[in-house]
A = this chain, B = another copy of it.
Amino acid sequence: MRAVTEGQLDSAAGRRAPVTLTEVAARAGVSRATAARALGGYGSVSDAARALVEAAATELKYRPNGMARSTRTGTTSTVGVVVADIGNAFFARCVRGISDAGRARGYGVIVVNTDENVDAERAAVRLLVEHRAAGMIVAPAARTGGSHLAEAQTVGIPVVLMDRRVRGLDTDRVAADNRGGAKLAMEQLIRAGHRRIAFVSSAAGPHGAPPGQHPPVDDLVTSGGDRVQAYLDALSEAAVKDPGYYLRLCPFGEDAAYTATTELLALPKPPTAVFASDSVIALGVLRAVHDAGASVPEDVSVVAGDAPAWSPVTTPGLSSVDQPVYDLGHTAMNLLLDRLNEPDAPWRDVVLPTTFLSRGSIARRARGGRRRLIHQEPLTIEQSG
């Protein structure tokens, strides 16, 4: 049991095959069964035998083969996480919540990207099924066509939907109150006198939708669709004619949002406010506004449907709907692990409240066309449902 030399770690020792339970048993002079019991902590083992086995195990640096164990038990203690883009701060933070909740209960996380592509999602689910993941948490890429998810469930791998919904699929689910949050944001804008309010979202899939057309809101990825719905409802309620006029559903990514916003600002009657569906969109919107030589909020007010970490450091601060992103993941994992314990419990649909963080990016819009800043105070908070 010599200490590892600090100067040079013992990686020159060469590759040796992993130690197996059989070797440990042999070293300890007991049978495999006894060794297994001693290390697995089940059945009954004499203290003497246990000591021998444990000594042998540590001495040989025994590491149980999780794969072999899983073959035998039929399941693993890893859960799959299927998201559109782990590089996106939103999902990254979700995954952190998932990971933390999982670790606390002894589960690891295997992450798969779909890039908002349903085929990739199918492949991801297949991969996870083949891995015999204990369950999976999915932010589905599409509102429909969830047969692969249903299939996973039928082979005993429970699915929890996160942030989004799939039509006709019975699962546990967790999402933020996107509709309520968007409603709060719209109320702020309308109360501040805005009527020409644009909405930029990438919820429409990689190809976007032609501007000016009423899109099939019900088919949008849920989190985005809910926000769009709240947006349209709010406009209708404010008696705005042609509520879809300033709605832009563009492909995913910051650049598409940039383009859409640039076009919006070039309109004969440009919007006086822009609602960015999420923070990636917001980045594109803000860049576009800036590059168009306009400023926030004097020329155009901006709100975001998700509060990025950087919302305090823009000038002015970005007013946004704050979702409990970490909790989204945390809750998803807990829903999943609960389901593993009680496979037949009724489905649960958890909606986490959102808050509206009012910073400086909304200007009051006077009827006569003059504009005045509101919210000089650093931060106000309102909470949804």
Contacts and interface: CB of A to CB of B under 8 A. Distances in A.
A286 B99 CA distance: 29
A343 B86 CA distance: 30
A130 B64 contact: yes
A236 interface: no
25 contacts: A4-B147, A11-B171, A15-B153, A15-B154, A16-B155, A16-B156, A18-B129, A61-B155, A63-B126, A64-B130, A67-B70, A67-B71, A78-B110, A87-B92, A87-B97, A87-B326, A89-B89, A103-B113, A108-B127, A109-B111, A254-B309, A283-B312, A313-B314, A314-B314, A314-B315
Q: How many copies does the complex hold?
A: 2
A266 interface: no
Contacts of A132: 18, 65-67
B92 A89 contact: yes
Classify chain A: how many residues form its interface, as a range.
35 or more
B9 A169 contact: yes
A86 B99 contact: yes
A72 B188 CA distance: 61
A97 to B, nearest CB: 8
A313 B151 CA distance: 44
Contact of A10 (B6, B150, B286): B150
Contacts of A150: 4, 9-11
